Structure 1
Amino acid sequence: MKRIKTDLCVIGAGSGGLSVAAGAVQMGASVVLIEGHKMGGDCLNFGCVPSKSLIAAGKAAHATRKGGFGIAGVEPEIDYAAAMDHVHSVIDTIAPLDSQERFEALGCTVIREFARFISATEVQAGDTVIQARRFVLATGSSPLVPPVPGLDTVPYETNETLFDLREKPEHLLIIGGGPIGMEMAQAHRRLGCKVTVIEGLKALGKDDPEMAAVVLDNLRTEGVEIAEEAMASQIRGAAGAIEVEVQDGRVFRGSHLLMAVGRKPNIDKLDLDKAGVAYTRAGITVGADLRSSNRRVYAIGDVAGGLQFTHVAGYHAGVIIRSILFGLPSRASDHHIPWATYTDPELAQVGLSEALAKEAHGDRLEVIRFEYAHNDRALTSGKTAGLIKLMVVKGRPVGVSIAGADAGELISLWALVLANKMKIGAVAAMVSPYPTLMEVNKRAAGAYFSPRLFDSPMVKRVVRLVQKILP
């Protein structure tokens, strides 16, 4: 048995773990990085990168089919295997940045085994025991597969297997109407598949219902069947002929099945009890400083039980680097964390939704709305479906919801505003190039001031008085 002593042991080589390891080793700490599966983690190999690559393929097919602006649409010739080749070429292009070779070149000791705690200060990975001053658990999450009766008798996909398909599904059944389910539903529909989404409650149910409706209406227009209040109760059949029965008796039939009902934290292999690390089904229990009940052990990203996004893991990495390397207090917050669903139109959120803002602020809340249909760039490009909604309290935004083209890009401005506690006047004062979709943000901010300026008797009296006084 080999033994290593190190300043920092990072378990998990996804986006969060890699950020911590790279930052720590380049600033002088000794680092052991342990990964039992693929370098780059879920985001690179099974999540963000492949899903957005497939979405891009679907978008190209849709543009060809739809036409417009005087260009006749034609039915595209779709090579599903070639679309998947594009997916894997993007993964392969990014992979060297996350590779074992790169991190060894930076100075990390990289061990490609699953790790488990054997004491409060040691983990074992393969035939190596690592003793560390600090541990960072960045093991991420995996697809949650619920125990639906019959599921164990039929073939099914998750996001970890979907991108290995080579033949286009004739009819894809998707259980789960969250972001992953809806993104893959639209991408596959645009690539020529029949698609049925089966959701036990409401599709995109964690988002503002008004904003979600913008997305769902378009998906239905494109031919995606979305069945809500449809809790799966029985699954049966075989490859190419799968049936999903729901509690009210409806039966949905398709050729392939994708399970997209959520995620579970990757904690099973860690033997956390041996390290005195508290956890629940949601993940490792941490404070605002991202430390666990064992003060030597931090948890970041999905495994920490909060928002499950790649950029959150990266943010967490920056928070704990401050305390691990410099001994300075640091705390994570999520009030300024944006997220987006990359359907067409996109759906994005930062801060409080309208419902949560009303609950938190009551009558002090003002809700400002601006429709994409009033933006000139949206008109020129035919992307007029959508709106932005600002939740404002005493001149300060507390939440922003956007449904529409490039919502995932537009939300970044509001993440900056919330992170820095800026007032809405800062956005109103901004000058955007014309014509751009970014003007949606500026016009929405301007809509907050319009009634205060144009509908105010006091303002009118002051202006009339000044006009009389001025020479």
Structure 2
Amino acid sequence: MQQIETDICVIGAGSGGLSVAAGAVQMGARVVLIEGGEMGGDCLNSGCVPSKALIAAAKAAHAMRAGAGFGITAVEPQVDFAAVKDHVAQVIATIAPVDSQDRFEGLGCTVIRDWARFTGPDTVEAGQTRIKARRFVIATGSRPFVPPIPGIETVPYLTNETIFDLREKPDHLIVIGGGPIGMEMAQAHRRLGCEVTVIEGARAFGRDDPELAAVVLENLRQEGVLVLEEAPVTSVAGWDGTIAVTLKDGRVIEGSHLLLAVGRKVHLDGLNLEAAGVVYDRKGVTVDAALRSSNRRVYAVGDVAGGLQFTHVAGYHAGVVIRQILFGLPARASTRHIPWATYTDPELAQVGLTEAEARKAHGAALTVLRQEFGHNDRALAENKGKGLLKVMVVKGRPVGASMAGPMAGELIGLWALAISSGLKMGAVAGMVAPYPTLGEISKRAAGAYFSPKLFDNPMVKRVVGLVQRYLP
């Protein structure tokens, strides 16, 4: 068996692992990168990249149907579903070289394409290679969770790992799960000509502000997506190309295809963490604020660290770990400034505290600012006036922002910056935004924080009156 000694051994070549490996090797560390599956991980191959490519194709189809409001005759698009999937595959192929084995070997990493397992507190084996390292970073990500629904083992079902390989358009797609993945795929497939039913056991978009979630749900339902909330599934069955989903209230929903989108399960299978003395549970590796495990040599980043499951969080975690293992500097991970977005139409986005969370945390000290997209000239020009921005403010600083509207995933970045940098509302209010842009909605929201202090203040009016009377 080949023996390698290295500074850092990264297990998993998804977003977090690749970020650690690229940063560390380019700053002079010896790095071994181990990946038993596909380079690029879930995000590139079955998550963020293919889903957004599919959503873009669906948006193009929807635009052909939605021209009436602009004086354009609506036409029904002719959707070549297989060609749509070719587009998705081409986007993946275009991005793949950035995450490839060739690139990382070119950077100086030793890349091993096999599954890793710990054999001791400072040793891992992968295939015919034993790696001894000063530090390990576990970045193995997560996989779709398959719920123990009676009958699920007897029917064909799709997950985000398989749906992008489907080349025949489903007649009726049943989606179990009303979270971001389920709702994005539901709207995209509806726009591509499928009948779609979403079944959610609790509330759709359950992690988001209910008022803003309602804006998105209204639009999805208007487009023809049937969304059933508070509808637990009791069993599934299938016959002759039909899948039947039975709900707790006795209703039976029949369709041609079934997509499971009920959450993620961290991927720790086969790592033999016990041999390394690494404590873990079903949520992931147990880590402290520095992302260090019970074994001081071992860190975890991304989904497997047991927190927010987003690609950009994995990248952020990579930076936290790199500061510690390369430079010996203290670093701690936080979630207060982490944004997330759901790429439906309109989009949903959040950073910091929701209104409910902020009211619970800050009580009477909280000010909630509201700005509707219906008052934004650019949104009106594009017939996208449905939507709302909420900003939660305490003592002049934003502690959260929630948004439902066009390009919300892009617009939330300003509030993520404001929260992470501790900016005051005056900094956003003083920003000059080009006109007309959707970004003006953030400036107007910030300006609204100061409006009562200026326009409803008798002292201000008295001072202005005196200045006007005596100013030469």
TM-score by length of structure 1 reads 0.99
**2:332 is equivalent to residue 328 of structure 1:** no
Residue in 1 that maps onto 2:11 = 11
Answer whether contact 1:174 1:195 (CA < 8 A) is retained: yes
Match of 1:407 in 2: 408
Q: Deviations over 1:381-429 (max 9, x none)?
A: 1000001000000110000001000000000000100010000110000
Within a 5 Å distance, the mapping from 1:92-241 to structure 2 comes to 92-238=93-239, 240-241=241-242
SS at match of 1:422: coil
Distance across 2 between alignment mates of 1:326 and 1:451: 48
The aligned residue for residue 256 of structure 1 is 257
1:245 — aligned with what?
A: 246
Is 2:47 aligned against 1:41? no
Q: Distance in 1 between matches of 2:239 and 2:212?
A: 37
Partner SS, residue 330 of structure 2: coil
Amino acid at match of 1:357: A
Take 2:243 and 2:365, find their aligned partners in 1: how far apart are those partners?
Answer: 52
Aligned length: 471
**Distance apart, 1:66 and its partner CA:** 1.4
The reply to whether residue 24 of structure 1 matches residue 28 of structure 2 is no
Residue type at the aligned position of 1:228? E
Q: Are 1:342 and 2:343 counterparts?
A: yes
SS of the residue 1:203 aligns to: coil
SS of corresponding position for 1:308? coil
Give the Å deviation of 1:457: 1.2
- Structure 1 unaligned blocks of 5 or more: none
The structure 1 segments of at least 4 consecutive aligned residues displaced by more than 4 Å after TM superposition are none
Letter in structure 1 aligned against 2:216: V
Indicate the percent of aligned positions where both proteins have the same amino acid.
72
Query: 1:93 and 1:162 mapped to 2: Cα distance?
Result: 20
Equivalent residue runs for 1:37-76 within 5 Å:
37-68=37-68, 69-76=70-77
Q: Which amino acid aligns with 1:122?
A: T
Corresponding residue SS for 1:89: helix
Counterpart for residue 428 of structure 1: 429
Q: CA deviation at 1:238?
A: 3.5
Corresponding residue of 1:90: 91
Aligned equivalent of 1:384: 385
Match of 1:275 in 2: 276
The secondary structure found in structure 2 opposite 1:437 is: coil
The equivalent residue for 2:2 is 2
- Cα deviation, residue 70, structure 1: 1.4
SS in 1 for 2:290: coil
CA distance in 2, matches of 1:211, 1:239: 40
Q: Measure, in 2, the Cα distance between the counterparts of 1:273 and 1:423.
A: 47
2-structure distance, mates of 1:459, 1:141: 57
8 Å CA contact retained: 1:239, 1:255: no
For residues 300-319 of structure 1, what are the structure 2 equivalents within 5 Å? 300-319=301-320
Superposed CA RMSD in Å reads 0.7
Name the counterpart of 2:459. Answer: 458
- How far is the alpha carbon of 1:239 from its aligned partner? 6.1
CA distance in 2, matches of 1:240, 1:448: 57
Task: State the TM-score, normalizing by the size of structure 2.
Answer: 0.99
**Is the 1:290–1:298 contact (alpha carbons within 8 Å) kept by the matching residues of 2?**
yes
1:285-300 correspondence to structure 2 within 5 Å? 285-300=286-301
Worse-superposed segment, 272-281 or 218-227: 272-281
Distance in 1, matches of 2:387 and 2:362, equals: 26
Matched, 1:353 2:354: yes
Q: Deviations over 1:146-182 (max 9, x none)?
A: 1100000000000000000010000000000000000
- Whether contact under 8 Å (1:155, 1:238) holds in the other structure is no
Aligned partner of residue 125 in structure 2, secondary structure? strand
CA contact (8 A) 1:142 1:265 kept: yes
AA at the equivalent of 2:449? Y
Q: Deviation of residue 462 (structure 1)?
A: 1.5
Taking the aligned partners of 1:322 and 1:52, their CA distance within structure 2 comes to 32
**Distance in 1 between the 2:17 and 2:200 partners?**
33
**Cα shift at 1:269:** 1.7
Query: How far off its partner does 1:373 sit?
Result: 0.5
Cα shift readout 1:52-72 (whole Å, capped 9, x = no counterpart): 000001000000111131111
CA distance in 2, matches of 1:339, 1:331: 20
